[in-house]
Chains A and B, each alone.
Chain A
Amino acid sequence: MIHESNLLSLLIILPLLGAVIIGFAPRNDEWTRRIALAFTLLVFAISLPLWYLFDTSSHEMQFVTRVPWIPAFNINYAVGVDGISVLLVLLTTLITPMCVLCSWKAIDTRVKEYMIAILVMEAMLIGVFVALDLFLFFVFWEAELIPMFLIIGVWGGQRRVYAALKFFLYTMLGSLPMLVAVLALYFTGGETFDIQTLSQGAYSATFQFWVFWAFFLAFAIKVPMFPFHTWLPDAHVEAPTAGSVMLASVMLKLGTYGFLRFSLPITPDASHAFAPIVLILSLIAIIWGSYMALVQTDLKKLVAYSSVGHMGFVTLGIFVFNTQGIEGAILQMINHGITTGALFLMVGMIYERTHSRLISDCGGLRMTVPIYVTLMAIFSFASFGLPGTNAFVGEFLVLVGTFKYNLLAGAIAIGGVVLTVAYMLWMLQRIVWGENTRKEDVVVTDLNGREIATLLPLLVLVFWIGFHPQPFLERMRASVAHLVSEMSSVRDVRHIEGLNDATLPQILERRPPHAAMENIVAVNRTFADSCRASPCQISNKDRKQTL
């Protein structure tokens, strides 16, 4: 059952409408905040039908709207959600009201511009997740940089200018080669930007190689994966709380979402071939991110580096290409959005009181602020995946998937989990149970109603996903199953159908180095996943027969 409705367009337009209204309303800070909150809550309310009306049995796109936009290039305004994106859209609409709430007191200069930026960003982020047209996706992908650039640069900390410029230019560095790849895909895939049509196409190995790496650069910078992560700590530390929350909870997911939506379906052979590289980078990210988190003295930096580690789990899950891994990865994207978002919110709350993010300036809170400490502990436990919390389910699935793929990779990932536990507990120990090291004139009060209200939905989700992840997994199941089956043998048969006799010899000529890599992958896969190990070999045989 496909729901034809304008729900998704409404989700994009409403925040923009709110931004325009705030823009033309007279300058009144209190009312600006209220209007912004009203609009974000309205958007959340409107997004709820996505949860209830979503057809869990179908992997097809739902809630689709398709309108011609730039006919000259066959570009459509096409939006829709499937199991991969629906939860991410809901996460975005859930997080944005919290960003408005947590900025209530923290932002007191240029409130109007701030709220406009938040609302515009929400619209762009939802747009990225629901776009079904590659060009539309790219427009949203780039446009979302502008509000974030302003949020970091105008309302950020001391080194905000450096952080904002680095964030913007680094991300653009990734997305511009992607633009060229998008154009190349357009011409190779039959002059269309439609994502589903492009995913059906069969492309030569060389072409896949280039497209895969162009997309990889863009997505890896966004995630951020190991060698490309250096912008993240800067951006997180300098951004205001809401900026960090948006960045961590939603924006980082754009990269991993991109892998699932584009890299895997469009360049399956290249994804298989280069999966070992991506997996190694993911493992390095897990270990290195956690290790860096261990030595941070700044709370925000600690959470930022923990993001690098957690996102490593997500990319790990994606590139093992099995159901458990990918389901775990998607769930882990949501989990990371919830727990890291919450941790950033809590760091922001303590910063508002002590005006310092150094762990040493926030020590020994247990006596003074019981509610804060309780919540902090819960979210930290959730972050390292204590059983019963959400991250446990996600990490467990990812680890199962990884062990199925390769024992060693799984073992290393387990090591990362241990490190995560270590830095989180140590951080907790210092700020909760440690010595009181705060400056004498700092009075720390416990959370007020607004702050508790901000955190409460996240708290509920932590335990909901932790104890009953079924509704969440159900929603992604069909799409993930479809993706996994697309990634395996079916693909290679189509590959042959898509080729004619004239191009086949050329591609086979170029095959040797590539085939060697695939064989390595195949060997890796044999002992874990024998059903998927054969496709490349079979396909080679098939090709010879066709010849």
Chain B
Amino acid sequence: MNFVLSDLLPVLPEVFALTMACVILIADLLIRQNGRMVTYLLVQLTLLGCSLIIVGTHENGVVYAFHDMFVDDLMSDMLKLLTCLALSMMLVYSRLYLTARGLFTGEFMVLVLFALLGMMVMISANNFLTLYLGLELLSLSLYTIVALQRDSSVAIEAAMKYFVLGALASSLLLYGMSMLYGATGTLELGAVTEAIQTGVADRNLQVFGLVFVVCGLAFKFGVVPFHMWVPDVYQGAPTAVTMLIGSAPKLAAFAFATRILVEGLQPLVQHWSGMLIILAIASMALGNITAIAQTNLKRMFAYSTITHMGFLMLGLLSGSIEGYGASMFYAVVYVLMSLGAFGMIMLLSRAEGFEADTLNDFKGLSRRSPWLAFMMLLLMFSMAGVPPTVGFYAKFSVLNAVVHAGHIWLAVVAVLLSLIGAFYYLRIVKLMYFDPPESHVPITVSSDTALLISVNGLGVLLLGLLPGALMAVCAVSVQQSLLLR
């Protein structure tokens, strides 16, 4: 296998991220504990650098590299940019939280960068092996980050569960991929499509492999019935880590699903779309109903994530390009909302180890801090999908795709289940606005997080008033990637 220099240009962002991760790993050894800000700023600069490189090396059309192992298209560039943005926001939100809990360490930062690398590889993969490689790099980084809080037994338990179930999922995925390889004789996504279309491959073996691939995907998305790890990990991990797991990786998961199901297995669409229907309905039903019973906010958001991922499936299963675009829009919007929601929990958590992660901690927030309560109100209505917040448009666009695909009954089921969901988001609004506060400790917020949460909350509103641009960007990037192949 010989190297061509032109192959390096499309992978420049990944190369840069990897280099910086290694540099920071070593540089961090030379920095004292109280100088971690330097590491932090270096990571932020890396994220900025990555974004600039992504924009700088962007080329129209689809570029393949490394013998079609790697693909660089508009969708991958958009998703990578958003991933960098989400990680950067995550770091800003969690800086003080991590410092107070002794987690503001070089290891954390470096692992975040490795997770970034994993996500970028997933997003740009054009081959079963590259996909798996990226996924494992991301997963292993996340397992480690969850376990980083060594003295917390819940965190260790969460990490253990995450690891065992995650490893199981990976093996299912790998098993499915090997069967598809056996059936089609190739690992490259485009060639797989061709092999299936020409009909030389064994149909039964393909579908059998597909089942395992979908199971593995479902694990990574955390949709029912492969959702068991989600609530435990979300609750057990430190909030900053929960935010990390709950935000950017969803973008990568979307890319993963699109690459493997749409770009690789499009000819089997009627098979996988049926499977996704089951996953979607089960997730929306179980997620919404179980979330009502939760008193721990992080656990509640875990179930809400399950629901949202079910909604995201709706776009994918419609099997149309608009549907995939709608799913991408949904993923982006979801990441924005979940960053805000977890950010709010961290804002209210205090230095002395107080975690604002139960519902009661939000009681009377509107009296303690009207602005923060208003931001949370916007985020909650957005999650519930009430206009004029952007969450409504996300739901609207996936439902639009579902109705267009002719599954009107599915759209009706989805909206009725989202009505149940509205209840527990409203309950948070109720706690913040209708109930008197339980604690009168003044809320102190650093200026960077205050600014970020305001941008985040108002962003949810402004994107809701003018959603056209973001919708168009998502639609166009998916369109270009799929049509120009």
Residues of A within 8 A of B (CB): 69-73, 110, 113, 138-140, 142-143, 145-146, 149-150, 153-154, 160-161, 164-165, 168-169, 172-173, 176-177, 179-180, 183-184, 186-187
Contacts and interface: CB of A to CB of B under 8 A. Distances in A.
Contacts of B475: 72
A84 B419 CA distance: 31
B422 A150 contact: no
Contact of A161 (B381, B423, B434): B434
A139 B392 contact: yes
B408 A180 contact: yes
Contacts of B412: 177, 180
Given A71-B472, A139-B392, A172-B422, A187 B386 contact: no
Contact of A176 (B370, B393, B416, B433): B416
A139 B388 contact: yes
A145 B433 CA distance: 15
B411 A183 contact: yes
Contacts of A177: 412, 415-416
A161 B415 contact: no
A160 to B, nearest CB: 7
B433 A142 contact: no
B82 interface: no
A149 B366 contact: no
B387 interface: yes
Interface string B375-396: 0000001000011100011001
B467 interface: yes
A9 to B, nearest CB: 13
Given A165-B423, A179-B399, A154 B434 contact: yes
Size category, B interface: 20 to 34
Contacts of A146: 381, 386
Interface of B: 366, 370, 381, 386-388, 392-393, 396-397, 399-400, 403-404, 408, 411-412, 415-416, 418-419, 422-423, 426, 429-430, 433-434, 466-468, 471-472, 475
Of B387, B388, B393, B396, most A-chain CB atoms within 10 Å: B387
A164 B427 CA distance: 11
Chain A contact residues: over half helix, strand or loop, or mixed? Answer: helix
Given A72-B472, A173-B419, 14 more contacts: A69-B466, A72-B471, A113-B370, A139-B388, A143-B388, A154-B366, A160-B434, A161-B430, A176-B415, A177-B415, A177-B416, A183-B411, A184-B403, A187-B403
A169 B411 contact: no
Contacts of B433: 150, 153-154
A168 B416 contact: no
Contacts of B429: 149-150
B434 A153 contact: yes
10 contacts: A71-B468, A139-B388, A142-B386, A142-B392, A145-B386, A150-B429, A153-B433, A154-B433, A169-B422, A180-B411
Contacts of A145: 386
Of A138, A168, A173, A186, most B-chain CB atoms within 10 Å: A168
Contacts of A113: 366, 370
Contacts of A172: 386, 419, 422
Contacts of B393: 70
A145 B397 CA distance: 21
